[in-house]
Structure 1
Amino acid sequence: MARHLIRRRLRAFWPDLHGLEVLGMGYATPYLRQFHEAARLFAFMPLTQGVMRWPGEGRNSVALVDETELPLTNFSVDRVLLVHCLENSDYLRDMLNEVWRVLKGEGRLIIVVPNRRGLWARFERTPFGYGHPYSQMQLSRLLREHSFTPLRSTQALFIPPTHSRALLRTAPAWERIGRRVSSHFAGVNIVEVSKQVYAVRPLRAAERRRLTWSLPQVVRPTPASRRY
């Protein structure tokens, strides 16, 4: 039920990923399959977390990686989804810097983290009962510090963590009422951000000439060095 409720919020943010490259990090594989229209779906799991094959059929699309050195070129993916990743990372800042590096300029990142005020972060029997939970303000501040711009946010898992089948059947009603009454006590915070790419003023012709003539003579190739 938790997966179902979170999937609905993710799909509302990304209704159509046709032709895009989508990367999931952490334990994001249960949420990737719904984006079947994407050109490519693949997942990375950090070394400290371990790895599980995904999907169950066909070619494997998941790899165990060093979260501080992702095996991708710069600006290579359109979408990144982090689930059970941010709150458990031992190298948080390096990991976010790597995500920024591999994300395309117009790319988007979604992060799903346990809510500091929610019940799900208080019970270790839940999947969100481990690691460092975040409030919306803490999460927004962290992402801005790493050159991401928050675009929109939502919450999920307003239902208390329970195994009661009768209560689980009422989960959709809990979600509707919770979003209307108070978002502070949801189980998870979900935020979508864009990549900050600051504009650089191009040099005018006169400035380029001054820069060229100011270079040290030693860096200019001589006729003899050109042969080598």
Structure 2
Amino acid sequence: MTTNADINDLIAFYASPLGQAAARAVSLALTPVWRHIPDERLVGLGYAVPYIDRFASDAERALAFMPAAQGAQNWPPFAASRTVLVGSEDLPLGDSSVDRILMVHSLEFAESPELMMAEAWRVLAPGGRIVILVPHRRGVWARFEHTPWGSGRPWSRGQLTRLLRDAMFTPSSWSEALLFPPFRKRPLLGLSAPLERLGRDFWPVFAGVVIIEATKQLYRGLPVASTARERRRAIKPVLVPAGAGAGARTCRSDGL
């Protein structure tokens, strides 16, 4: 079993100079894999707040799902909260109800990555996409515990590909980030941007973070859920199922 990150540690890291430099580098690496989905419903799973802000403005709706074991931060800070405490293997959403999931500081802490991916497949609409950020097994950042990327289970490209294919996802694009060392001293952080650019050309295999986008395959046999689990879902607010990027949408009267 892998212990979840603590919300206070995550907030403190991203408020630090190193955290801000890391967020800039990861956001730049996310841009080329972030394909446009018209009127999408976006869910950030784990601790996606530093990145979801960059992409939520184009979404029809965006929600921040944070694991109960991690704790939660209110988001967005100056509007009605769209943060929800969840169990990562039992999301409070209907089948095929969201268009994209951004998974950050999540998969590396999963007790069962297979169950987490199966639940992500369930809630994604046909043709929906998942974008996953995980610490890279070969990266320097996975060896330092003063960053969130140094906690949990690191992944290789091959491991991620097998996990996604087993869960009926088709990997479509890759990216890397955090090619500069996790400097603690502010003067050295001034080198982060040029080192990030150089690293893409000369040492991408040692990136601190692997980013992958995958598309939900349409055909899959779903296991029969227990009666108790179905009863729990029946009383939860859900989004109405729809295809990825569907135009006109409506919510149930008790929906989010």
Three-state SS of the structure 2 residue aligned to 1:57 is: coil
1: distance between equivalents of 2:199 and 2:161? 21
1: distance between equivalents of 2:132 and 2:75? 20
Equivalences for residues 100-111 of structure 1 within 5 A: 100-111=121-132
What displacement does 1:17 show?
Answer: 4.6
1: distance between equivalents of 2:37 and 2:217? 21
AA in 2 matched with 1:22: L
What displacement does 1:15 show?
Answer: 5.5
What residue number does 1:203 align with? Answer: none
2: distance between equivalents of 1:118 and 1:199? 34
What residue number does 1:92 align with? Answer: 113
AA in 1 matched with 2:135: P
1: distance between equivalents of 2:121 and 2:35? 23
Choose between structure 1 and 2 for higher RCO, CA contacts under 8 A separated by at least 6 residues: 2
- Root mean square deviation of aligned Cα: 1.6
Equivalences for residues 161-180 of structure 1 within 5 A: 161-180=182-201
AA in 2 matched with 1:30: P
What residue number does 2:24 align with? Answer: 4
Residues 1:46 and 2:92 are matched in the alignment: no
1: distance between equivalents of 2:24 and 2:37? 19
What displacement does 1:103 show?
Answer: 0.5
What residue number does 1:154 align with? Answer: 175
What displacement does 1:144 show?
Answer: 1.1
AA in 1 matched with 2:176: Q
- Give identity over the alignment, percent: 44
Q: Higher Cα Rg: structure 1 or 2?
A: 1
- The one of 112, 133, 136 aligned to 2:157: 136
AA in 1 matched with 2:32: A
Sort the Cα spacing of 1:25 and 1:156 in 2 relative to 1 into closer, same or farther, 3 A: same
AA in 2 matched with 1:174: L
What displacement does 1:134 show?
Answer: 0.5
What residue number does 1:210 align with? Answer: none
AA in 1 matched with 2:63: F
TM-score, structure 1 normalization: 0.83
2: distance between equivalents of 1:15 and 1:89? 26
What residue number does 1:224 align with? Answer: none
Gaps spanning 5+ residues in structure 1: where? 201-228
User: What per-residue deviation string (whole Å, max 9, x for no partner) do you get for residues 22-81 of structure 1?
Assistant: 100000111111111211111111122121211111100010011111111111111100
2: distance between equivalents of 1:199 and 1:18? 25
Sort the Cα spacing of 1:30 and 1:110 in 2 relative to 1 into closer, same or farther, 3 A: same
What residue number does 1:125 align with? Answer: 146
2: distance between equivalents of 1:74 and 1:160? 41
CA contact (8 A) 2:96 2:126 kept: yes
User: Bigger shift: 176-185 or 81-90?
Assistant: 176-185
Q: How many residues align?
A: 200
2: distance between equivalents of 1:13 and 1:107? 14
Equivalences for residues 10-21 of structure 1 within 5 A: 10-14=30-34, 16-21=36-41
Residues 1:197 and 2:218 are matched in the alignment: yes
1: distance between equivalents of 2:71 and 2:189? 30
